[in-house]
């Protein structure tokens, strides 16, 4: 499913570091069938960073190092359909340098290396369940549990990940609304060319531990006003001005149906994939269109790297405010 695709890519982080970043991968039981699912965790550490290879990609992290002293807020991260736990690695690492633990779910059944559930009721139902199961696992992990403040948990979701986070924060999804929407889809919206399974099912899976959320180009059509009535936590919402996958009406519908107005921004000249981390030019061809800022995706002149410098700071600032975290004493 190319509409929310990002291959399992990473990059060499070379920015100025306020703290060292640790990274480790954990396995947990997929709530759908008990199979092995994965979550990648980034966190502040006092150990030195070294280059770590993952396939053809390199991170500068302290792999497997202890988490820095203190109790740190946690942000759960949900990638788009056909994506990867590494699709927003730059955001995760910026948050880790701010003192956050970040846990990125690799959505089994709807990731770049396993997309068998794409467009099915199972996909829409299992994603929020996976997010909560990963949260359970991270909070119970013996190396992490004593370093996480379970009262300060946020979530970030992109595209189908935005849908995932909305359900986890109290939204009730009516999957039949997808078919209704796609009978007369907005011009140019590729979301409706994916063969989404027609079903009247409803999905409700609120996780009250999540206290704030950032949504980037979320799939919003499954949610009515009543379906979003219980989403009362602070929300920051982004729309890409030239999004070719998710129509403006989907994101604006979320904005207008939430009980309290979210922080809202339209990213000028951005296409859907602008929210994915910048990919080095040497591997952009291998990753494909989601890595390329070109006329087919983002217009010429759109600078994804510069946008992400601003985006990641905005996201960290939002969670600082919404989770009532001061910069002192962390």
Nearest to 255 by CA among 274, 271, 231, 279: 231
Predicted pLDDT at 298 = 56
Q: Is-contact 106 40, C-beta < 8 A? A: yes
Average pLDDT, the chain: 89
pLDDT (tens digit, 9 = 90+) per residue, 24-65?
999 999 999 999 999 999 999 999 999 998 755 688 999 999
SS (H, E, C) the chain: CHHHCCCCCCCCCCCCCCCEEEEEEEEEECCCCCCEEEEEEEEEECCCCEEEEECCEEEEEEECCCCCCCCEEEEEEECCCCECCCCCHHHHHHHHHCCCEEEEEECCCCECCECCCCCCHHHHHHHHHHHHHHHHHHHHCCCCHHHEEEEEEEEEEECHHHHHHHHHCCCEEECHHHHHHHHCCCCCCHHHHCCCCCCCCEEECCCCCCCEEEEECCCCCCCCCHHHCCCCCCEEEEEECCCCCCCHHHHHHHHHHCCCCCEEEEECCCCHHHHCCCCCHHHHHHHCHHHCCCCCCCCCCCCHHHHHHHHHHHHHHHHHHHCCCCCCCC
Residue 3: pLDDT above 50? no
What is the average per-residue pLDDT within 165-184?
Answer: 96
283 vs 260, residue with greater confidence = 260
pLDDT (tens digit, 9 = 90+) per residue, 227-265?
999 999 999 999 999 999 999 999 999 999 999 999 999
Q: How far apart are CA 174 and CA 169, in angstroms?
A: 15
Q: What phi, psi does 152 have (nearest 5°)?
A: -125, 80
pTM > 0.85: yes or no? yes
């Amino acid at each position: 499913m190319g509409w929310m695709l990002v291959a399992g890519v990473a990059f060499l982080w070379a920015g100025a570091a306020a703290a060292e970043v640790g990274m480790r991968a954990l396995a947990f039981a997929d709530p759908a069938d008990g199979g092995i699912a994965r979550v990648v965790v980034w966190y502040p550490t006092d150990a030195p960073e070294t280059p770590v290879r993952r396939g053809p990609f390199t991170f500068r992290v302290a792999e497997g190092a202890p988490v820095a002293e203190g109790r740190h807020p946690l942000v759960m991260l949900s990638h788009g359909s056909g994506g990867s736990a590494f699709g927003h690695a730059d955001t995760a690492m910026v948050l880790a340098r701010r003192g956050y633990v970040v846990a990125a779910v690799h959505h089994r059944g709807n990731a770049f290396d396993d997309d068998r559930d794409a467009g099915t009721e199972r996909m829409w139902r299992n994603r929020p369940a996976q997010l909560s199961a990963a949260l359970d696992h991270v909070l119970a992990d013996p190396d992490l549990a004593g370093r996480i403040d379970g009262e300060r948990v946020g979530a970030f979701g992109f595209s189908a990940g935005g849908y995932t986070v909305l359900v986890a924060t109290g939204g009730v999804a009516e999957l039949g609304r997808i078919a209704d929407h796609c009978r007369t889809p907005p011009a140019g919206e590729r979301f409706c060319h994916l063969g989404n399974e027609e079903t009247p099912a409803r999905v409700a899976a609120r996780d009250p531990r999540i206290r704030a959320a950032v949504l980037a180009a979320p799939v919003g059509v499954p949610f009515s006003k009543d379906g979003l009535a219980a989403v009362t936590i602070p929300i920051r919402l982004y729309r890409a001005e030239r999004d070719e996958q998710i129509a403006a009406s989907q994101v604006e519908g979320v904005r207008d149906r939430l009980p309290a107005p979210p922080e809202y921004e339209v990213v000028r000249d951005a296409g859907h994939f602008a929210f994915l981390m910048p990919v080095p030019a040497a591997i952009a061809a291998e990753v494909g269109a989601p890595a390329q800022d070109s006329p087919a995706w983002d217009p010429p002149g759109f600078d994804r790297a510069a946008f992400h410098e601003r985006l990641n700071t905005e996201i960290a600032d939002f969670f600082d405010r919404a989770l009532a975290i001061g910069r002192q004493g962390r």
